[in-house]
Chains A and B, each alone.
Chain A
Amino acid sequence: MIKYIITFVTFMVALSTTAQENKHKFGEASLEEISMKAYPKDSSADAVVLYDYGETNFRYTNNNIFIVLKQHKKVKILKKSALDRASSSVLLYKVGNNEERVFDIKGFTYNLIDGKVVKDKLSKDMIFKEKSSDNYTNHKFTLPNVKEGSVIEYSYEIETPMTLSHNPKMWIFQNDIPVVWSEYRIDIPNIFYYTMLMSGYLPLAINEKKPINIRFAGSDMPGVSYRFVVENGAAFKNEPYITTALDYVSKIDFELASIDWTGVLTKNFSLDYASMNKTLLVDYNLEEQLRKTNFLKNIAKEIKAKNADTLSQWRAAKNYVFSNIKWDGKSSIYSTGLKKVFDKKEGDAGDINLLLTALLREMGYDANPLILSTRSNGYINETYALLKKFNYLVAYMNYYGKDIFLDATDEFADVGVVPTRCLNKKGWLVHPTEARFVSLIPKEQDREYKKAEFVLNEEGELSGKMSFSYAGYGAIRAKSDLKETGQEKYLEKVKKDNPSWSISKVQYSNTEPNNRAMEAAFELNINEHVTKAGNVLYLKPILSNDYAENPFKASERSFPVDFGCSLDETYMANFEIPEGYKVIEAPKSASITLPSDGGRFSYMVRVDGRKINVVSKIQLKKPIYYAEEYLFLKEFFDKIIEKNQEQVVIKKEN
């Protein structure tokens, strides 16, 4: 029987114990620490965590199990910009009288004054208990006499009743400043079985596990003691186009899989996906909720009567739920009661999409709930089932082998696709017999098509038409934007983005939720785009300003670039130049591809008498690019920018 599981995701490498021991006694700071002027491993750091130590134990008192975390942290302040780190806080959760508590907040500041170490104590009047809201209390403390060069240190103990949370708090090894030594220990009695999940990009310097005897609930019982250390952890740096920083930072997290306490309590949670599936169907009541759907019978009947084909029936069901149940903006993976939600006319994503699943079933379709983790909530680990990592539910159907997703929280995500916020690798289909992972990587792309038809006069003025067409994920975005801002404000934004455009007419089509491309068409004059120099005109045929700056400016990158979906953009323009003029120089056609057919950019200018035709096409074929592909991606955008700036030289013939 496998008793404990530890996973190392992606780059996390478990090294053997070669690291030097690093012990810090509370209440002491070495002269070396206090006189340190800069951190040699990262000279840009304005502070450095010298020591961050956490230790979790289980305690049994008064018929209650408590998870107790002791934390001890020591920070060196190197620059004035880091002075705010002298204030910290402990946030405690509570529900009624069931509450977390903090004990022994202690702290010291160490300064070097006239060559001597001066130690100031955190006194009671520097600790403030503040009620943040009905469910949270914050204990704030601020250390005395902290200045450039100070070393600060604090420790405390947080006690969490297991009735409030089953799981030890996540331990994060990395910080926004470098961490010299981050150590986490946990002693677990064998009656608790935790799935432990490590993730991030920093290697472990120490990774130990040994059997011990633990004094728990009045007796000695076998248990396991773990110890993890990250040494010299670099400061965590955020980058654009990632899901959420927490996906990339080095950390360890826990979820209770089972309790096996003979004679007291035996309970399985979600050790693997099969039992997680069962937990959802039984404990989260999904199965039963989807059976008691009688109250939807008449609505189902009506939808079927009004809509003949399958697709329009699905759409009608989704629209019914969208327009009758208001989304409160929250997400969940279950419902507190479908009938209740139906009557209240408001609910979270779990409520709404489970209701949609129920309605589809009433209509005779084999719809099932699919749970996932939204982009801002982070990645799902496919090996180990951590139920709390899922935060969202959509309705799912398999229709002749095709994956159909439905989400009634989003007006514009058409039947078949999930909204952009859900584009996060894979979801779990909750099903009594056919539960499995379903890919969320969309076949649908973010598609844009821009078309321009202009006549150029001798003054260098352009007059004509321009249309923007958005399809796929582009349509979801454009339609939502238009609805949210309103047509008037939307046009104002177009005008502001393009100050040289005088728009005389605008027309929007396909703005309603459907699978067609939305189009915004303008009739306009552009008087300040072309440079006129005597009898020469210089025309930049790309009229939009979409690619003026490279989105990737950093010279290197350590995380993947995650766009969510692939992209396809086409720009096509036709210009007619004035009579008596001739193109004397035109940009060269060019094309560039990303390695292993990951993307393609092509640019072409054709001149035919007084007609100029320009086509620029950008394809990013993958939703996610690896860090190794970063430099190619950066170069790819540089090329786009370069070609976007090129100009046609037009001269009057004598």
Chain B
Amino acid sequence: MKYKKAWIKGVLTLVIIVNTLVGHGQNFAVTTLTNELIDKASCVVRFHHTEFVVKDIGQASVKISGAVTVLDEKGERQAAIVIPYNKFTKIKDIEAQLYDAQGQRVKRLKRSEIENFSTNSGDNSIDDSFVKVAVLKHTTYPYTVAFTYEFTTSNMMIYPTWEAVPNNLPRTAVEQSSLTVTMPQGLKLRYLEQNMPSKATITEEGGQTKYNWAVKNMKAVEEEPYAPPLSKILPCVYTGPTEFMVEGYRGNLSTWADFGTFYRELNKDRYNLPPQTISKVKELVKGVENPQEKVQKLYTYLQGHTRYVSIQLGLGGWQSMKAEEVATKGYGDCKALTTYLGAMLKEVGIKSYPVLVKAGADEGDIQATFPSFQFNHLFLCVPNQKDTIWLECTSQTAPFGYLGSFTGDRHAVLITENGGVLIKTPSYRPEDNQQLRRALVNLQENGEATIDMTTYYKGIQQETVSGVMHAYGKEEQKKWLVKSLSLSSLEIQKFSFEEYPSALPAVEEKVYLFAKNVYNKSSSRLFLSPNQFNVVSTVPLPNASRKYDFEISSNYLDIDSITYLVPKGYIAEYLPEKSKVVSKFGEYEAEAQKVNDRIIYTRKMKMKKGLYPASAFNEWVEFRKKIVKLDKSQIVLVQEK
């Protein structure tokens, strides 16, 4: 009986799908495509419809139907059917057909051709999320893949984000693409339109409210270097619930305050510590009066006794492990470790709040006006009138109080007893991210030299070298130094690192090395490029018809001061002029002076982080070009006659 039912259901689905396709009256022959759409495209989305139907506060269904014509190899990705799923998702049907250039059907997707993968592979990452993947390919381009699939979801705290260009990929043209959201009576939809050519069409029908967005005939976009990610440039619609339910938890997401209240509810009763830990905590802060010092003691204890393991099981994406469990296992993910430190602080009477953030040096900011689950990370904040303390709990080496490029300078949500509060995390000025380098280069015969160099890195600029210092063994550290110095041929004889942890940490690197081909010598002359260690050599290509704004991603200040000891008997035949270049993007200065048997070279470069208009791009290229040229300038010394 069971078998028969399934069979009937199968037939019904098939009928519906055939109807859908016929209903669109779609002709998959490539000849119907206009040249405009094909231009610079690797694929054309013939149609792509997403229907999100909210049944009630705890359930919804999603139906996606589409057809993609693949024009070349780079377009194949868009014709692949990729469906993420976890225990909240029930995938009902996946149907797909392959058509050739004439629009003749070549084949249907077989059930056996659908593959399942776990979404992670590292040993340190535990997850119960999967993807179903189905790929139909033809042997010659162009070809078209048409598909329909449906699933239900019971994770109603997250509504879809609809992208007008699927996956926000370049080289994808779109004939038509749409999103429909159907809300039942009494439930309100929240949404945010980004770069949409037109606003939502809203209709009421039998108590249901239908929202519809559509785009038509969008040309393929090309990526431009230094542009913001396409997810910020292309049209999309963020949707979100007001009231919802997930795994028996009820919540409301109308405001960040509501968001925080729900998050708190999800993670309450997770702050109990085992008695041994409590006594350990008490012992650690015994006799310590200063609250900041107490925090520091407990943070150090956390760093020394736990490690980070990513655990994303069930609601684990948003629900923390219990502090007790972290205490016995000694590991946890960002939520678990943050909860654990929060629990320890609570034990000694210090209030702290978890902070939700979209972490990552290259991640764009969240949509701050649209409360929803846009985060991927959590850390701890100890509020203080003057000096708020920010604590990254997943790192065993992060300096106390420092956020850096991973979570700094962006919006985040503080989870307080009064709900969520939108805040901005600390940002770092160019002067905060310094690199100060002093070197004494003792030039010897035949282009060789010994170099004694000290470099002091601060703020975001110390992150890489601090990573090298902590994560690498001696051998690897040496390899990194060799690579980062980019000298033509060198041998490191001694090196050391010393760190100065603080809320604005620094690392001092000392290197003593022997190098070849530092300068070039002819029978009477000596050619030397005084800027050996910090050379800007890449320039983006100018583009007069640039479309998108561009980003300079970091604030920094580099100051180099290099002293060359020159072999006796040489006088300067040519010294580059003192130079200074100033622009809205930053400043550059360089100078080489001959003082007795020495040449003293100084270079100062300051860059300002920012989003600049497309029209200023060529100005930036020119600025970089000038620097590249100046960085290459050489000194010519000639033997005294």
Contact = CB atoms under 8 A, between A and B. Distances in A.
A142 B307 CA distance: 11
Contacts of A599: none
A312 interface: no
Interface string A263-300: 00000000000000000000000000000000000000
A308 interface: no
Contacts of B137: 346
B627 to A, nearest CB: 11
Nearest to A531: B634
Contacts of A148: 304
Interface in A16-37: none
B330 A146 contact: yes
**Central interface residue in A140, A585, A587, by most chain B CB within 10 Å:** A140
Contact of B123 (A87, A235, A534): A87
Interface string B463-504: 000000011111110000011001111110000000000000
A81 B625 CA distance: 40
B118 A550 contact: no
A120 B276 CA distance: 15
Contacts of B397: 80
Contacts of A79: 470, 473
Given A142-B331, A145-B330, A531-B636, A131 B130 contact: yes
A555 B304 CA distance: 36
A145 B517 contact: no
B83 to A, nearest CB: 15
Interface string B108-124: 00000001111001011
Contact of B475 (A138, A237, A536): A237
B285 interface: no
A345 B138 CA distance: 9
Nearest to A495: B541
B396 interface: yes
B307 A585 contact: no
A326 B139 contact: yes
Contacts of B629: 500, 528
Contacts of B330: 109, 120, 144-147
A144 B309 CA distance: 11
A87 B309 contact: yes
Contacts of B475: 44, 235, 237
Interface stretch (A410-418, A510-518, A643-651): A643-651
Contacts of B139: 325-326, 344-346
Contact of A146 (B115, B307, B487): B307
A133 B522 contact: no
A585 B525 contact: yes
Contact of A538 (B331, B474, B540, B574): B574
A43 B474 contact: yes
Contacts of B471: 81
A646 B447 CA distance: 11
Interface in B276-322: 304-307, 309
Contact of B524 (A344, A495, A585, A634): A585
Interface in A601-648: 634, 637-638, 641-642, 645-647
A641 B489 contact: yes
Contacts of B304: 147-148
A381 interface: no
A579 interface: no
A538 B541 CA distance: 27
Contacts of B487: 549
**Central interface residue in B126, B471, B490, B541, by most chain A CB within 10 Å:** B126
B136 to A, nearest CB: 12
B585 to A, nearest CB: 17
Contact of A133 (B116, B305, B329): B116
A345 B140 CA distance: 9
Contact of A533 (B124, B486, B520, B573): B573
Interface in A142-194: 142, 144-148
A496 B541 contact: yes
A587 B304 CA distance: 60
Contact of A550 (B489, B525, B636): B489
A128 interface: yes
A647 B123 contact: no
A81 B124 CA distance: 13
Q: How large is the interface on A (under 10, 10 to 19, 20 to 34, 35 or more residues)?
A: 35 or more
B488 A548 contact: yes
Contacts of A87: 123-124, 309
B45 to A, nearest CB: 23
A459 interface: no
A402 interface: no
Given A144-B329, A147-B304, A647-B520, A88 B123 contact: yes
A52 B491 CA distance: 35
A531 B483 CA distance: 28
B116 A134 contact: yes
Contact of A80 (B396, B524, B574, B633): B396
A133 B540 CA distance: 41
Given A128-B126, A132-B118, A147-B307, A549 B486 contact: yes
A46 interface: yes
B591 interface: no
A642 B632 CA distance: 17
B319 to A, nearest CB: 16
B114 to A, nearest CB: 9
Interface in A510-542: 528, 531, 533-534, 536, 538
Interface string B125-136: 011101000000
A46 B477 CA distance: 12
Contacts of A126: 329
A84 interface: yes
A260 interface: no
Interface in A453-509: 492, 495-496, 499-500
Interface in A101-150: 109, 120, 126, 128, 130-134, 138, 140, 142, 144-148
B522 A638 contact: no
A645 B516 contact: no
B305 A645 contact: no
Interface in B615-631: 625, 628-629
A140 B305 CA distance: 22
Contacts of A344: 139
A37 to B, nearest CB: 15
Contacts of A637: 489
A132 B125 CA distance: 12
B35 interface: no
A148 to B, nearest CB: 7
Interface string A71-96: 00000000111011011110000000
A45 interface: yes
Nearest to A534: B574
A377 B483 CA distance: 28
Nearest to A344: B139
B545 interface: no
Interface in A539-563: 548-550, 553, 555
Interface string B533-555: 00001111100000000000000
Given A144-B328, A144-B329, A642 B539 contact: no
Given A133-B116, A147-B304, A645 B126 contact: no
B516 A638 contact: yes
24 contacts: A44-B476, A79-B473, A80-B396, A84-B307, A131-B116, A132-B117, A133-B118, A144-B329, A145-B330, A146-B307, A345-B139, A346-B137, A496-B541, A531-B574, A533-B574, A536-B573, A548-B488, A550-B488, A550-B489, A553-B489, A585-B524, A585-B525, A587-B522, A638-B489
Interface of B: 115-118, 121, 123-124, 126-128, 130, 137, 139-140, 304-307, 309, 328-331, 396-397, 447, 470-476, 482-483, 486-491, 516-517, 520, 522-525, 527, 537-541, 573-574, 625, 628-629, 632-634, 636
Pick the 9 closest A-B CB pairs, nearest first.
Answer: A145-B330, A44-B474, A533-B574, A345-B139, A44-B473, A87-B123, A81-B471, A499-B539, A83-B307
